[in-house]
Structure 1
Amino acid sequence: MLSYGTLRACIRVDGQVLESYGIETFPEENKVTCWIASEAGKTFSVVWQDINYARQYHQTGDVTLDGVHGGGQLMRALGFNEPPTYQRCTAEFKYVNTSMNSIRPLTFSRLQLTDEDQHLNSAHADLGEISLAIWPVTVIGMGYRKNTVSAEGTIVHERSKKASSHCVGFGEEIRVPPQQVINVARVGITPTATFVFRYRPFGSCAKHSR
């Protein structure tokens, strides 16, 4: 598990925290990076905690998947008389919204390669990265979810393929009622902390972490 100040973050698969390799901290950017081993077909979640049990402000964890914003998770402020339970101090992001009434779980998938020239420049610079940016926020009201994530797989040209052979994909669609969301406004101009998990198949991950 990565840590920065009172914040902790990890990627969890099958209920277990994935081991982090090659951890680096960049205090000038409030950022921590590492490598993790991905396994195609495995469902995963992004988990974070705040062990500041005196925290009296709300904060969100915004998740970016292969350079595309996937959504966020709100962690409410602790009330003066509320005990700092695990549930109140922990947030978990494990689904993306693909429509107003459908969600799909996060998975590691195999990267799709093509020789079609239209995909020559389609590889995002952050392909192979899961990023979590934690911000202090104020709650400004309620609304219905408008932003959704495309469920299409990641396709890149075989000549522009990065070192990873994996990408973030999505599991089977789950139908849900239209969801209300809490609208928030960020406080400040930089995140309190950013955690970057660079994922690769196990053998490649070990090589990059040296």
Structure 2
Amino acid sequence: MPTVDNFSVWIEVEGKQLPEYQVQSSVNEDQSVRTCWIPSEAGKEFRIVYRDSLREIDTCTRILVDGVPCSGLVQRPIAFSTAPDTIVHDGQSASATTYKPYVFSNCQLTEHASTTDRAAASLGEIVVGVEHVLVTADNQPWASKVSDLPPLRIHERAKKGIVHGTQLGKEVPRSVRTTTYTTTIRKLVSFHFKYRPLEVLKADGIVPRDKPTSVKRPADPEDIIDLTLEDDCSHCQCGARKRKKAKVSKSVKTDVKRERPVMFGDGEVLDLTI
């Protein structure tokens, strides 16, 4: 998983962390940036998981999905909260007790530009920013702004290899949420996950292609030596013995080379002749 100091972020599908490829680090606007590629599968729900292993300060996540601001979460220090070290972003809040999950989805190409079309430059990327914040009010009644992700329509000329984007699934229930108000002190780190179908990542050389499995060639019947012993001719009354002919491989020599005597000390000879 991408990790900077004590901060980690990863993407999960069906409870399993997605593999990450070509993880790179850089510095942008005085904050550390960690970038990687992950495989996406249309129709699969995903979760964004954040962890602060130290929890010495108040931190807040700022989420961008395909360039659209989404709900972030605040994590309090251990001194103020006994909650788990990880916090999970399942999707967008729809109410105090429901949310709509994030879902990898296929893009829809269109020939006509529209104000509802997504910007292709921002599609296929999940950005998680982590900030050091000052909590000004905690456990307030839920007052988050309900937002949705626009349809995945992009102009065909602006596609630029984009195949998948993110949509929101059907509304599902969850425990009651409250609102925490904060003021940003400074930005700490930013994690960027670029997602594409696995086959696209392989075609672009981001993910190694599977090595072809070698298939063993079946033996040619003429290359088989039949060493079956002779049998009695039991199906007739001739009393003769029948010998099965041996099939000799073309690659095996039928003549046997005569070995030379091997000389030992004091005139002793070991005869290896047949």
User: Where does residue 39 of structure 1 map in the other structure?
Assistant: 41
Whole-angstrom CA distance in 2 between matches of 1:171 and 1:65: 14
How far 1:37 moved relative to its partner? Answer: 0.2
Whole-angstrom CA distance in 2 between matches of 1:107 and 1:17: 15
Q: Per-residue CA shift, 1:15-59, capped at 9, x if unaligned?
A: 10000001100045410000000000001001111122xx43210
The answer (yes or no) to whether the contact 1:120–1:160 under 8 Å persists in 2 is no
How far 1:122 moved relative to its partner? Answer: 4.2
Whole-angstrom CA distance in 1 between matches of 2:176 and 2:86: 25
Whole-angstrom CA distance in 2 between matches of 1:143 and 1:200: 38
The answer (yes or no) to whether the contact 2:117–2:152 under 8 Å persists in 1 is no
How many residues were matched structurally?
202
User: Where does residue 3 of structure 1 map in the other structure?
Assistant: 3
**Identity of matched residues, %:** 27
Structure 2 unaligned spans of 5+: 208-274
User: Where does residue 72 of structure 1 map in the other structure?
Assistant: 72
2:72 partner SS: strand
The answer (yes or no) to whether the contact 2:8–2:50 under 8 Å persists in 1 is yes
Root-mean-square deviation over aligned CA pairs: 2.4
C-alpha distance 120-43 of structure 1, shift in aligned 2 (>3 A): closer
Q: Per-residue CA shift, 1:176-206, capped at 9, x if unaligned?
A: 7985311111112xx2110000000001123
Q: Of 206, 210, 223, which aligns to 1:209?
A: 206
Amino acid of the structure 2 residue aligned with 1:161: K
Whole-angstrom CA distance in 1 between matches of 2:24 and 2:39: 16
1:72 partner SS: coil
Whole-angstrom CA distance in 1 between matches of 2:94 and 2:128: 20
Alignment of 1:2-151 (within 5 A): 2-28=2-28, 29-52=31-54, 55-79=55-79, 87-98=83-94, 102-118=98-114, 122-141=118-137, 142-151=140-149
Higher RCO by CA contacts (8 Å cutoff, separation 6 or greater) = 1
TM-score (norm 2): 0.67
Q: Of 182, 185, 204, which aligns to 1:184?
A: 182
The answer (yes or no) to whether the contact 1:143–1:183 under 8 Å persists in 2 is no
Amino acid of the structure 2 residue aligned with 1:15: G
TM-score (norm 1): 0.86
Q: Per-residue CA shift, 1:48-75, capped at 9, x if unaligned?
A: 11122xx432101111100011110111
Higher strand share: 1
C-alpha distance 122-30 of structure 1, shift in aligned 2 (>3 A): same
How far 1:4 moved relative to its partner? Answer: 0.8
1:148 partner SS: coil
